[in-house]
Amino acid sequence: MKVAEMFTTNANPSQLLRNDELDFFGLTHPGKKRTENEDHFLACTVHPQVIVHATSLPNVDQLPLRGAVLASIVLVADGVGGNAEGGKASRIASETIMRYVDSSLRSYHESGKNEDVFLESLRSAVSEAHHAVRAEAKQRGDKRPMATTLTLGIVVWPWLYVVQLGDSRAYYYWEGTLTQVTRDQTVAQELVDQGVMPRERLVSSPYRHVLSRAVGGDAEEAVPEVTRMRIDRFGSVLLLCSDGLTKHVTDDEIGKTIAATARSEDICKTLLDTALDRGGLDNITVVVARRRVVTPVAGTASALG
């Protein structure tokens, strides 16, 4: 699997994340025009954990039973079709992906952080989700396609891996700069990339929201794009969203909202309110993961930036 690299690779070591450094929030809304919400999202962290089944110790709950964060996961899936089938496709894809995340992360850590094995596990997870959605569509015998976008971010500190199919987006923000990590996999964007259509016509193109890749649908296989970047900076923000947000809110406005807002919850709610105020033509989903600016623990190295 080819991996696109963003920014300069930094070889300096980075400490594991502390539990109190992370600020997650996500929300989804059907919008003002749709009766069904076809979007699904997830934000979670993965930890080593000790489960005590029996003990004579009096205060076992005060022991350090949960370890530092091994990985953080954020996901947005936007179902295609404008009906309940799209919502089912995004749900099936999300659930299938999460069933494989454990094995993906396990392979990454147990193989001594062998990235090739990890990337192959991610590819297999996407392929399994793709075939699960297609199998559901075939079983239902509905001629309408079942498909969904998928934007999956996995942070295995200090690296962020973004797996992308469709036009839901991932953004990275730090110190006033917002970067779109993903590339919209739409017919219009493909025409621009091929030099067939000028970039300035992209916003008005009728093919702007016609997907060229998705999970499910008519294609036999799903081939995701994977991007890797290093993000271990205090104040870093990762934002994932469905196109229900970006239809109404510009990148500049997203960046300014993040810059002016301290909490992930408030970022999500402000952006949602803006999209709704401007029409809310589609389902709207926003997920934000922010690394708080905290005082490093004595004796540990500070983060980059």
Residue pLDDT, tens place only, 18-52: 767 889 999 999 999 988 899 999 999 888 889 99
83, with CB counted inside 10 A (0-12, 13-18, 19+), is: middle
Residue 164 and residue 181: Cα distance in Å, rounded?
A: 10
Q: Which residue has the higher pLDDT, 119 or 10?
A: 119
Q: Binning pLDDT at 50, 70 and 90, where does residue 203 land?
A: confident
Q: Which residue has the higher pLDDT, 14 or 73?
A: 73
Distances in Å between the Cα of 11 and the Cα atoms of 18, 159, 160, 247, 304 are 21, 11, 15, 38, 11
Average pLDDT, the chain: 86
Is residue 249 situated within a structural domain? yes
Is residue 12 situated within a structural domain? no
Q: At residue 193, does pLDDT exceed 80?
A: yes
Q: Which of 207, 212, 209 is CA-nearest to residue 197?
A: 207
Q: Which residue has the higher pLDDT, 305 or 108?
A: 108
Q: What is the pLDDT of residue 300?
A: 44
Q: At residue 94, does pLDDT exceed 90?
A: yes
Residue 245 and residue 275: Cα distance in Å, rounded?
A: 6
Q: At residue 209, does pLDDT exceed 90?
A: no
Q: At residue 127, does pLDDT exceed 50?
A: yes
Q: Average pLDDT, stretch 158-173?
A: 95
Is residue 216 situated within a structural domain? yes
What is the DSSP annotation of 212-234?
Answer: SS-EESS-SS---EEEEEE--BT
Q: What is the pLDDT of residue 299?
A: 47
Could you tell me the residue range of the domain that residue 253 belongs to?
A: 3-7+17-49+63-291
Q: Which of 288, 71, 305, 66 is CA-nearest to residue 176?
A: 305
Kindly report the CATH number assigned to the domain that includes residue 284. 3.60.40.10
Q: At residue 12, does pLDDT exceed 90?
A: no
Q: At residue 162, does pLDDT exceed 70?
A: yes
Distances in Å between the Cα of 151 and the Cα atoms of 114, 170, 250 are 23, 7, 19
Q: At residue 93, does pLDDT exceed 80?
A: yes
Is residue 128 situated within a structural domain? yes
* Domain count across the chain: 1
Is residue 296 situated within a structural domain? no
Mean pLDDT is lowest, of 6-10, 143-147, 260-264, for: 6-10
Q: What is the pLDDT of residue 32?
A: 94
Q: At residue 192, does pLDDT exceed 50?
A: yes
Q: Binning pLDDT at 50, 70 and 90, where does residue 164 land?
A: very high
> Which pTM does this prediction carry?
0.88
Q: What is the pLDDT of residue 267?
A: 98
Residue pLDDT, tens place only, 271-283: 999 999 999 999 9
Is residue 303 situated within a structural domain? no
Q: At residue 235, does pLDDT exceed 50?
A: yes
Residue 100 and residue 88: Cα distance in Å, rounded?
A: 19
Q: Binning pLDDT at 50, 70 and 90, where does residue 4 land?
A: low
Q: At residue 63, does pLDDT exceed 90?
A: no
Q: At residue 303, does pLDDT exceed 50?
A: no
Q: Binning pLDDT at 50, 70 and 90, where does residue 302 land?
A: very low
Residue 126 and residue 222: Cα distance in Å, rounded?
A: 7
Is residue 177 situated within a structural domain? yes
Q: Average pLDDT, stretch 95-117?
A: 75
Is residue 57 situated within a structural domain? no
Q: Average pLDDT, stretch 63-80?
A: 89
